[in-house]
Amino acid sequence: MTNIKLSYTKKTSNKFTFLTEVDGKVLGDRVYTGTPEDHKLFSGFVDYMQDRIDEELKQDPGFTFHTLKDFRAWANASVQQDYLDYLDSQL
């Protein structure tokens, strides 16, 4: 089974690093700055995406991203809207 890990880690008081790894290989990392509310929202989105990836891997153990472009295509506006719909349902 493929090991896909997304992380969003605090680096300094206002900077976080978003990391995408597949089988221990870093496909991409990016530093984000923003308000505490921005970081809370994005951290939740990263957790949401990880849960969706884990579910996909249960159904298809060969599911993977070969490149950062593959990951970005998967994490498209539809996934973002699903997350926002999920947040709305929790109100």
Over the stretch 7-26, which tens digit does the pLDDT of each residue have?
A: 999 998 789 999 999 999 99
Domain spans, the chain? 4-89
- Measured CA to CA in angstroms, residue 29 lies from 7, 10, 45 at distances of 9, 13, 16
* Helical axes 77-89 vs 36-59, angle rounded to 10°: 110
When comparing pLDDT for 13 and 51, which is higher?
Answer: 51
Q: Are strands 15-22 and 4-10 parallel, antiparallel or unpaired?
A: antiparallel
Quote the pTM value.
0.91
Amino acid found at 87: L
Q: Is the predicted pLDDT of residue 70 greater than 90, yes or no? A: yes
pLDDT in tens, 23-42: 999 999 999 998 999 999 99
> How do strand 25-33 and strand 15-22 relate by DSSP bridges?
antiparallel
pLDDT score recorded for residue 91:
85
